[in-house]
Amino acid sequence: MTDGQRLFAGRYLVGDVIGRGGMANVYRGEDTKLGRTVAIKVLKPQLASDPAFRTRFRQEAQAASRMAHPTIVRVYDAGEEMVTRADGDVVTEPFIVMEYVEGRLLKDMIAEGPLGSKQATDIADGILTALEYSHRAGVVHRDIKPGNVMITPDDKVKVMDFGIARAVSDSSSTVAQTTAILGTASYFSPEQAKGETVDARTDLYSTGVVLFEMLTGRTPFRGETAVSVAYQHVSETPVRPSSVNPDVSPALDEVVLRALGKGRFDRYQTAQEFMEELELAAAGHLPKRRVVDDEATAIFGVAPTPGEQTAHALRQLTSDDTVTRTQRRPPVVWIWAGVLVVAVVMVAVVWWVLSLAPSAEIPAASREVPDLSDTTWESAQETLVGLDLVPTRLDEASSDIEEGHVIRTDPPATTTVAPEDTIRVYVSTGAEQVTVPDLSGLDQGGATAALEEAGLELGSITDQNSPSIGPGIVMGASPASGTDVDTGTTVDLVLSNGKVTITDVTGQTMSVARQLLEDADIGLTVDPIADPTCPAEPGEIITAQSLAPGEVDQKSTIELTYCTGSSDDGPDGGDGGGTDGGDENPEG
């Protein structure tokens, strides 16, 4: 069976391939139920062999589907399809159904050369806008890179693949497997490279890498292997973008270098903060916070540490020709010594990650974050304070958790932390409110799509007579259009059946019959039919109607028959009576 003949979930018709990646292929598709074009991302079968991945994949796709923002590619549906290969093997193919977006991938634009500063900052602003929305919703992307950013023909930014990176990284058994699936380490944050937990600041680091690449046409760190690039993210200082592209302003240099801070607190803390300084830099103003210049540090005679010497030796092995060597001709023994040290460290880190098991006992100097889900904020606050932890409240809409109750914590439950660490507690503000859209004039398919777009669900459908609204068109909704309701609320529809109900008008006068049938609530056209075979009666009494009483098609024409014949003056008339009178009284 060809790609063009495949049907996923009984409704998604798979068409031509429109993109290929390291872990998935993307197809143009059609939602046969709603009649709209979609993009279908089909993940590689090797991912589907891991049950943990399939579970995480579904959960993350559901979380991504709740995000609706102009800068984020919508996720409509997700599932798994059993596919029989040509060799007879049956494999499971996880898939995501997404909004179809016309445009170009940012990575294809960068491949043509560096972007202008104005275009680069505008695109970065769009990415940060999407991240600000997702971070407020509690979703960290984890895989911001040019291959996950679309630019529409009207230069709008669309970020895709929210949640997929988490599904992959949480389910992959080794660091090497995760790296292979994600395809590149060029956009890793230092904490990702070290296998640590990630947060919103991870996405901001990756955005800084993307901004560097847009301005220069290359990533800040390059190497022959993913491990060498990951190591540079952890230990190397990036060069200024202006050293690669002289057209980059000093202000943009400062913004990029701050975004690429090694420590989480060295970078921007929120997408909003990043956007504000990016806007200042785009206007030619230096941000208030300045990044320390490496050359200025060298002037004051700060000697490099042994680790920095090793890092310099590693830089000489990469393809990055912009890195300054520490010696003119470094001894080969030092190069190989550096490589050996890094190899030993990486093997030790991988072994530690694989062998790491939760300790049965928590050290006295540490605390374990308790499970506070669905408890009240007051109770959670009291519990954390009792553990010498610092709770901070973050409000978030939730249709599943009661208002004022805890949705989750960051770090999550069972995480080991130090005393006085800050624990972010996400508290439900209740279900998010949305407005029922205007559905008038739409058919059932269009109304269903509009409801899904607004985060609502289609409820019952009833038919109702209408003299003017066409069959199958929405006449009304409950709750009514314009009403504010909770996300996920069911909306019932009333559709026109294209019928009206008429009564029996025989025996009525023509004027009364017309008034009944041509009324705005009925809307029929009356065609009077004269019948000369029967005697006329005052008021043109209806003797027959062409449409039987009951439901008839709206805007129909009905024939009403009435008598127009003359009266019959036969033997029983007045003349006959006169003759009889003459016989009785001939002399009269």
The residues that bridge with 395 in the sheet, in sequence order, are: 427
- As annotated, the binding site for ATP includes 41
Measured distance CA(498)–CA(468) in Å, rounded: 8
The pLDDT of residue 300? 34
Q: Which residues contact residue 225 at a Cβ distance below 8 angstroms, ignoring those fewer than 6 apart?
A: none
Q: Is this model's pTM higher than 0.85 or not?
A: no
pLDDT (tens digit, 9 = 90+) per residue, 350-384? 776 666 544 444 455 678 899 998 899 899 988 99
Measured distance CA(211)–CA(187) in Å, rounded: 11
Whether 3-99 shares its CATH topology with 104-303 is answered no
Q: Give the residue numbers annotated as catalytic, written as ranges.
A: 143
pLDDT (tens digit, 9 = 90+) per residue, 439-471? 988 999 999 999 988 888 899 999 999 998 999
- Residue 469 exposed, middle or buried by CB count within 10 Å (0-12, 13-18, 19+): buried
- Residue 194 exposed, middle or buried by CB count within 10 Å (0-12, 13-18, 19+): middle
Q: Mean pLDDT over all residues of the chain?
A: 80
CATH superfamily placement of domain 3-99:
Phosphorylase Kinase; domain 1 (3.30.200.20)
pLDDT (tens digit, 9 = 90+) per residue, 203-240? 999 999 999 999 999 999 988 788 888 888 988 899 99
The band of 317, judged by pLDDT with boundaries at 50, 70 and 90, is very low
pLDDT (tens digit, 9 = 90+) per residue, 323-353? 333 334 455 666 777 778 888 888 877 776 6
More confident of the two residues 310 and 453: 453
Q: Which residues contact residue 163 at a Cβ distance below 8 angstroms, ignoring those fewer than 6 apart?
A: 60, 61, 63, 64, 139, 141
Three-state helix/strand/coil letters over 364-429: CCCEECCCCCCCEHHHHHHHHHHCCCEEEEEEECCCCCCCCEEEEEECCCCCEECCCCEEEEEEEC
Domain 501-565 indexed as CATH 3.30.10.20? yes
Measured distance CA(70)–CA(101) in Å, rounded: 11
> Where are the domains positioned within the chain?
3-99, 104-303, 368-428, 433-497, 501-565
**Helices 226-235 and 306-315: angle between axes, nearest 10 degrees:** 140
Q: What is the dihedral of CA 115, 116, 122, 125, to 10 degrees?
A: 70
pLDDT (tens digit, 9 = 90+) per residue, 2-30? 444 688 888 999 999 988 776 778 999 99
- As annotated, the binding site includes 41
Q: How many CB atoms lie within 10 A of CB 90?
A: 8
More confident of the two residues 336 and 520: 520
Per-residue exposure over 375-402, b if at least 16 CB sit within 10 Å of its own CB, e if not? bebeebbebbeeeebebeeebebbeebe
The class level of CATH for 104-303 reads: mainly alpha
pLDDT (tens digit, 9 = 90+) per residue, 532-568? 999 988 888 999 999 999 999 999 999 999 999 886 5
What is the architecture of the domain spanning 433-497? 2-Layer Sandwich (3.30)
What is the architecture of the domain spanning 368-428? 2-Layer Sandwich (3.30)
- Residue 500 exposed, middle or buried by CB count within 10 Å (0-12, 13-18, 19+): buried
